[in-house]
Structure 1
Amino acid sequence: MVRRMSIPTEPIGSIPRPRELRQALSEHAQGTLDDKELTALQQRATADTLDRLAAAGCPVLVDGEQAKPSFATYPIAGLAGLAPHGAAIPFADGHVRQLPHLTEGPFRYRIRAESYLRDARQHTDRPLKQAVIAPSALSLLYPPEPIAGYSREAFLSDLADEAEADIRGCLEAGAHVVQLDFTEGRLSLKLDPSGALLDDFIDLNNEVLGRFDATERARLGVHTCPGGDHDSTHSLDVDYAGLLPKLFQLKAGNFYVQLASEADPERVLAIIAEQLRPGIRVFVGVTDPIDPRVETAEEVRDRVLRAARHIPVDQLGTCDDCGFSPFADDTSTSRDLAFAKIEARVRGTALAAAELGVPVDAR
């Protein structure tokens, strides 16, 4: 018997990789470990991740992105027609993540997320969530100067088709929910304070989301956060008030909103409350993945109860603020710490549900 909370709680995506897998990735990059050996270690790490999430009481599981190079670049891993030194993403601590840039068309995904979902399904029969990168993030691959014979408009058309296929493949493979990672949303307001870039991102994502019907969109979600890499962020200093009204224009049924690390969560919740519409659910972040301290279940409970003062319980869910170590080379957060925080989220959400008088259904 699986007990399912009526206040749903879900992880975001990435989980720190085991040390042996990080070492294997390094050896593979150096050519001293073959593809078969790396794949075996990734599968072992995926199975362990699913087992530990289940043991923590998670009603919805993720594969922890153990086989992804990162949450952002999985579709283009090994893709020809890319050059280094594309769009740069600076973090508050001074480190920079840099995307490649496209040199030729047509643009095609080399790897689709459904392959990770199908691999994970071999290890569990529980509900599985699949994270995919939002097309808005991949739109940054097109360089400032036009590519000869391949216009930006043609690229965006190809990108929308590829993103739709990525999402649809996950739905057809049985994903409980497909989550678009939209961390670039808040960042866009730092790159372009006018909001024009954010408007472009919203339009592109809605072009893709609008291709799904209402039943399908109920299984689609969008995640926003200010980044969380090497214990630093790229846009926590950007006012949420500039993002949230436009975020909720996206044609999705679920919204996963970083909140635990916000300086003034009451203000953010008030903004969210103004944007609520029927038929959507807002999952609020109740644990901070880059805070080295493990939240107590009681702290999580209190954060859920605070959110419930602004968001109707039947539209409320909980999540972690962001994924843990979304890039494979990020060792700032230990695997054990991540699972401890996740367990606190699950337990704290259950405590809040009990206090709110929300039943826990047996399934």
Structure 2
Amino acid sequence: MSIPTEPIGSLPRPRALQTALAEHAEGRLSTAELAKIQDQAVSDTLTRLEQLGCAVLVDGDQAKPSSITYPLTGLTSLASDGVVIPYADGHTRQLPRLTAGPFRYQVRADTYLRAAQNHTERPIKQAVVAPSALSLLYPGQSIASYTRGAFLKALANESEAEIRACLQAGAHCVQLDFTEARLSLKLDPSGGVLDDFIALNNEVLGRFGDEDRARLGVHTCPGGDHDSTHSLDVDYAGLLPRLFRLKVGNFYVQLASEPDPERVLKIIADQLRPGIRIFVGVTDPIGTTVETPDEVRDRVLLAARYIPLDQLGTCDDVGFAPYADDTSTSRDLAFAKIEARVRGTALAAEALGL
């Protein structure tokens, strides 16, 4: 037995892709030409991950505008003045606002998965946006002739269809990005919004059987954008007991950047149940220095004191660039951190006699 280790999802885009995205936005590059450069970035990402010894690969979200908004690409019934996400350094991100129904995904993540499969035979993990995040598209005031209830029903159906398409396409696993979970407790400390998010996500996840759920996971973190976070100051103690209600077989938990990781591990240990695996974050993507393999090893060994080895895995804390325009972390730095995670996890497995 070894300790499985997986990336979370996004990686910084190569400079050529960043340039192409700017030129496309200005109308100086065709969509077809942009798609070719995105495919080249996917191929390079997968090749570099293979060279680092990654057993499970990701495409790095190279063709996504962001890990949240990709299903909306081409949707016309949107306004720009949606929910604002504030970050600790003062910058913000803003979601669009739905202006009319019916709601349908314009792009599903299986299209990215199938494109990536053209470049490798290794297992590929596919990250998808959680329906709870897209529920924020609906405005506070009702949309004429399209109720919030009708929107949520359509959203659940679209999310289920996307997950099924990824599973059917052969994804190693499908990971729901649930970064809004911790943020919700900052915006609503009572936990009411978080409970609504959990209920919506479980409405979708509950449609899958046990065999499929073993290939489903959820990722939680305090956000990561331009080397800042939106909710690192929110106590995990209010989130984790609710998070573990989700009907998935895998949980990816940001941990390396926590001020007191052992305290968090104790909370996780109290929530453990049979049949789930906990992937703990052992590298900090918004950190400016590269962890050493020995540092990663020690973080894994600490986690092994609280999580049974047959339920333990490792991951990066968050994606390295969930928004396509985030250039705060270099591509080389990201791959160096991933290499440290892979090597450090192997060192831990050796130390544990696995």
Interval containing the TM-score (normalised by the shorter chain): over 0.9
The answer as to 2:82 corresponding to 1:79 is: no
Q: Aligned runs of 1:215-226 on 2, under 5 Å?
A: 215-226=211-222
The answer as to 2:273 corresponding to 1:277 is: yes
- Counterpart of 1:40 in structure 2 is 36
The equivalent position to 1:340 in structure 2, one of 317, 336, 340, is: 336
- Counterpart of 2:114 in structure 1 is 118
The answer as to 2:57 corresponding to 1:61 is: yes
User: What's the TM-score once normalised by structure 1's chain length?
Assistant: 0.97
CA RMSD of aligned residues (A): 0.5
Identity percentage over the alignment?
75
Q: Secondary structure at the match of 1:69?
A: coil
The equivalent position to 1:329 in structure 2, one of 310, 325, 328, is: 325
In the alignment, the residues of structure 1 paired with residue 158 and residue 270 of structure 2 have an alpha-carbon distance, to the nearest angstrom, of 33
Cα deviation digits, residues 31-53 of structure 1 (max 9, x gap): 00001110110000000000000
The answer as to 2:158 corresponding to 1:162 is: yes
Cα deviation digits, residues 219-259 of structure 1 (max 9, x gap): 00000000000000000000000000000000000000000
Cα deviation digits, residues 156-206 of structure 1 (max 9, x gap): 000000000010000000000000000000000011111000000000000
The offset of 1:82, in angstroms, is 0.4
The answer as to 2:261 corresponding to 1:265 is: yes
The offset of 1:211, in angstroms, is 0.3
In the alignment, the residues of structure 1 paired with residue 224 and residue 96 of structure 2 have an alpha-carbon distance, to the nearest angstrom, of 20
Aligned residues: 354
In the alignment, the residues of structure 1 paired with residue 223 and residue 177 of structure 2 have an alpha-carbon distance, to the nearest angstrom, of 10
- Counterpart of 2:352 in structure 1 is 356
User: What's the TM-score once normalised by structure 2's chain length?
Assistant: 1.00
The offset of 1:319, in angstroms, is 0.1
In the alignment, the residues of structure 2 paired with residue 221 and residue 119 of structure 1 have an alpha-carbon distance, to the nearest angstrom, of 22
- Counterpart of 1:143 in structure 2 is 139
- Counterpart of 2:15 in structure 1 is 19
- Counterpart of 2:176 in structure 1 is 180
Q: Which amino acid aligns with 2:149?
A: E
- Counterpart of 2:298 in structure 1 is 302
Q: Which amino acid aligns with 2:286?
A: I
The equivalent position to 2:198 in structure 1, one of 197, 202, 216, is: 202
Cα deviation digits, residues 252-299 of structure 1 (max 9, x gap): 000000000000000000000000000000000000000010000000
- Counterpart of 2:286 in structure 1 is 290
- Counterpart of 1:315 in structure 2 is 311
